[in-house]
Chain A
Amino acid sequence: MEQFITTTLGQKCLKALLQVWFEFDQQLSKVPVIKRLETSRLSQEDYRNLLLNLRQQVIEGSRWISRCASSFDRSYSDVRSAVIHHAHEEHQDYKMIEKDFVAAGGLLQQIEAAPRNIGSDALHGYLMYQASLPNPVQLIGAMWIIEGLGNKMSLKWAKAIKEQFNCEQTITTFLEYHGKNDASHMQELYELIDRVATTDDNVAAIIRTAKVVGRLYCLQLEEVDNG
């Protein structure tokens, strides 16, 4: 395997991020809707609800990433380029969610009119605030969690959903797209870790942000059942 992380601090950061990821992965498996998904007990309504709630996160996602890019000054212009590229790639992904929602038997007006759930509200409030701070390197921790979901979970979930429903139309475009593409995003992320994990304070901020984002992401998914 290619070694992306070369610095001692980068490795320290990655080790801690992996641990945060493992804990998050376990918390996620206990969220009721995800538990139903992973144990073949998801209803089609559940899946529509999941998409409905993910849409806001995806829409807001490209907003905080864009804001994050704009908060990096000249000394981080290379990081800014990577983040802009990322934002550009993903800022219309919510359309795939809408398509899947309709294919799964939902109405377009319904998903368009759906408000953010309180977990999404908390998640985006936090992310927009962090993204507005100068040189927000700590958001690498947020990207670690959110890109990790795409990379490690999307295909697994898409497969489980396909097995549970016999749909004529494809209803998992969004999950499959992310499963296939987020591997390259993860590689970009590895490169960024080495670039920004340059002080102990930076590492601590990245880890803390990853933890907060993991908790709030779980809250957002817990709220899927409360809609």
Chain B
Amino acid sequence: MNVYINSTGRYLPGPAISNDEIEEVLGFINGKSSRLKNKILKSNGILFRHYAINTEQQTVESNCEMAAKAAMDCIENSFIPKSKIKILSSATSQGDMVLPGFSSLLQAELDIPNLEINSSHGICSCSLMALKYAFANIKADLSENALVVASEFPSRLFKHSRYEALDNNGIDFNAEFLRWMLSDGAGALLLENQPRPNTTSLKINWIKSFSHADVYPTCMSVGAPSNHDATTWQDYPTYAEAEKAGALLLRQDVRLLDNIVSVGVNGFLKLINDGDIQISSIDHVLCHFSSHYFKGKIFEMLEQAGAYIPSDKWYTNLYERGNTGCASIFIMLDEFIKTHALKAREIILCIVPESGRFNCAYMLLTVEK
């Protein structure tokens, strides 16, 4: 059974926020402008992003609402009514509630009856894990279609008040770093067991991933304080104490981050070796690199490995839409399809490296037409 992406959708909340306006939205920590901001923005190359909080740092719309809007955009663009959807598989790094799973809330928001649901939890690559669940179901003839949604709302973690709640009130670089990297948004894909006429149908050849959590320490996290204490957020007597200790801040151990390039290139070479990828046949690459900084590093390493793909084949909307974590690859795919005249049999390679604890996911698509 073949599996096709027959429709895509996306939702980015509010207006595009420029680099100069970020702190107006997220707030100034202790009333002061960040000294790190410009350095990090220069390195990641992001010019605009979207936030679902307002300048008072209040939530304008929930993660679930954003996910539902992207899903509706996708459904309205498809050949089936929402009531015919059989599987809802969703991904997010953090839903609006700790429990139940994100898909339960999203199903309710979308008001679709009799669904089979799956919630995928993780960071950037969990959208491809959610997608693989849907893909495998259709492939195994267990379902005829599936809606896959990925949504992120990290700006809630970046409110100035979160950093000010810390006991020592000092911010460390690792906790501030992602404040200038991540933003909000959602993307959705509709999968079916048949291609559709008069639209772009993309056949999913395969989805594969390689995790390296056994090798490297945690790189990106929420739930543990910055010191190497074994205590995590739920081990504190109260949640307030966990917050004061900084256990609820989103952190990136920047020193470990470079590993993501070798992990990503390693997986890529493995796929070439296994015959899953023929470099010369790839027409488009959609790679979720979180920062412009990594693009150069990836290119350098691929060139060195003799696995270079010319830069004009690479597409990204990172600089205009921001880094929306696991939603990025769906948002990218949606915009890519809608802005490119794709030809039948063109090959699209999607790459999603995740620095959480180093998981790298890949997907190969063929344009069916």
B344 at the interface (CB under 8 A from A): no
Residues of A within 8 A of B300 (CB): 1
Q: What are the interface flags for B216-232 relative to A under an 8 Å C-beta threshold, 1 for contact and 0 otherwise? A: 11000000000010000
Contact residue range for chain B? 20 to 34
In the bound complex, CA of A224 to CA of B12 (Å): 53
Residues of A within 8 A of B304 (CB): 1, 14, 18
B61 at the interface (CB under 8 A from A): no
Tell me if B228 and A29 are in contact (CB < 8 A): no
B273 at the interface (CB under 8 A from A): yes
Tell me if A11 and B306 are in contact (CB < 8 A): yes
Contact of A40 among B228, B263, B305 (CB under 8 A): B228
In the bound complex, CA of A18 to CA of B266 (Å): 8
B270 at the interface (CB under 8 A from A): yes
Residues of B within 8 A of A12 (CB): 306
Given A5-B306, A14-B304, residue A22 in contact with residue B214 (CB < 8 A):
no
Tell me if A29 and B215 are in contact (CB < 8 A): yes
Contact of A22 among B216, B265, B272 (CB under 8 A): B265
A46 at the interface (CB under 8 A from B): no
Q: List 10 A-B contacts (CB under 8 A).
A: A1-B300, A11-B306, A12-B306, A18-B301, A18-B304, A22-B262, A22-B265, A22-B266, A22-B269, A25-B262
Residues of A within 8 A of B217 (CB): 38-39
B313 at the interface (CB under 8 A from A): no
Contact of A39 among B228, B273, B305 (CB under 8 A): B228
The B-contacting residues of A in range 10-45, CB under 8 angstroms, are: 11-12, 14-16, 18-19, 22-23, 25-26, 29-30, 38-41
Q: In the assembled complex, how far is the CB of residue A22 from the closest CB belonging to chain B, in whole angstroms?
A: 4
Tell me if A15 and B307 are in contact (CB < 8 A): yes
The A-contacting residues of B in range 260-315, CB under 8 angstroms, are: 262-263, 265-266, 269-270, 272-273, 300-301, 303-307
B212 at the interface (CB under 8 A from A): yes
Contact residue range for chain A? 20 to 34
Tell me if A3 and B303 are in contact (CB < 8 A): yes
Q: In the assembled complex, how far is the CB of residue A144 from the closest CB belonging to chain B, in whole angstroms?
A: 13
Best-surrounded residue of B214, B300, B306 (most CB of chain A within 10 A): B306
SS class, residues of chain B in contact with chain A: helix
Tell me if A15 and B306 are in contact (CB < 8 A): yes
Best-surrounded residue of A5, A19, A39 (most CB of chain B within 10 A): A19
SS class, residues of chain A in contact with chain B: helix
Q: In the assembled complex, how far is the CB of residue A182 from the closest CB belonging to chain B, in whole angstroms?
A: 15
Q: In the assembled complex, how far is the CB of residue B266 from the closest CB belonging to chain A, in whole angstroms?
A: 4
Q: In the assembled complex, how far is the CB of residue A132 from the closest CB belonging to chain B, in whole angstroms?
A: 32
- Which single residue of chain B is at the shortest CB-CB distance from A41? B228
Contact of A15 among B216, B263, B272 (CB under 8 A): B272
Inter-chain pairs besides A12-B306, A19-B273, A38-B217, 10 sampled, C-beta below 8 Å: A3-B303, A15-B306, A18-B265, A18-B301, A19-B269, A22-B265, A25-B262, A30-B214, A30-B215, A40-B228
Residues of A within 8 A of B263 (CB): 22
In the bound complex, CA of A1 to CA of B266 (Å): 19
Residues of B within 8 A of A19 (CB): 266, 269-270, 273
In the bound complex, CA of A41 to CA of B307 (Å): 37
Q: In the assembled complex, how far is the CB of residue A108 from the closest CB belonging to chain B, in whole angstroms?
A: 33
In the bound complex, CA of A210 to CA of B215 (Å): 20
Q: In the assembled complex, how far is the CB of residue A84 from the closest CB belonging to chain B, in whole angstroms?
A: 26
In the bound complex, CA of A41 to CA of B228 (Å): 10
In the bound complex, CA of A40 to CA of B307 (Å): 35
Residues of B within 8 A of A30 (CB): 214-215
In the bound complex, CA of A25 to CA of B216 (Å): 10
Residues of A within 8 A of B305 (CB): 14-15, 18
Residues of A within 8 A of B307 (CB): 15
The B-contacting residues of A in range 170-211, CB under 8 angstroms, are: none
In the bound complex, CA of A179 to CA of B300 (Å): 19
Q: In the assembled complex, how far is the CB of residue B298 from the closest CB belonging to chain A, in whole angstroms?
A: 12
Given A18-B304, A19-B266, residue A26 in contact with residue B215 (CB < 8 A):
yes
Contact of B216 among A5, A11, A29, A40 (CB under 8 A): A29
Given A38-B217, A40-B228, residue A26 in contact with residue B303 (CB < 8 A):
no
Q: In the assembled complex, how far is the CB of residue B51 from the closest CB belonging to chain A, in whole angstroms?
A: 34
Residues of B within 8 A of A41 (CB): 228
In the bound complex, CA of A25 to CA of B272 (Å): 20
In the bound complex, CA of A12 to CA of B306 (Å): 8
- Which single residue of chain A is at the shortest CB-CB distance from B358? A26
Q: What are the interface flags for A96-122 relative to B under an 8 Å C-beta threshold, 1 for contact and 0 otherwise? A: 000000000000000000000000000
Residues of A within 8 A of B216 (CB): 29
In the bound complex, CA of A26 to CA of B263 (Å): 9
- Which single residue of chain A is at the shortest CB-CB distance from B258? A156
- Which single residue of chain B is at the shortest CB-CB distance from A38? B217
Q: In the assembled complex, how far is the CB of residue B230 from the closest CB belonging to chain A, in whole angstroms?
A: 12
In the bound complex, CA of A197 to CA of B262 (Å): 24
In the bound complex, CA of A47 to CA of B215 (Å): 21
In the bound complex, CA of A30 to CA of B212 (Å): 11
- Which single residue of chain A is at the shortest CB-CB distance from B217? A39
The B-contacting residues of A in range 118-160, CB under 8 angstroms, are: none
- Which single residue of chain B is at the shortest CB-CB distance from A40? B228
Tell me if B306 and A1 are in contact (CB < 8 A): no
Residues of B within 8 A of A23 (CB): 266
- Which single residue of chain A is at the shortest CB-CB distance from B212? A26
Lowest 8 CB-CB distances: which A-B pairs, in order?
Answer: A11-B306, A22-B266, A26-B215, A18-B305, A29-B215, A19-B269, A15-B305, A1-B303
Q: In the assembled complex, how far is the CB of residue A173 from the closest CB belonging to chain B, in whole angstroms?
A: 22
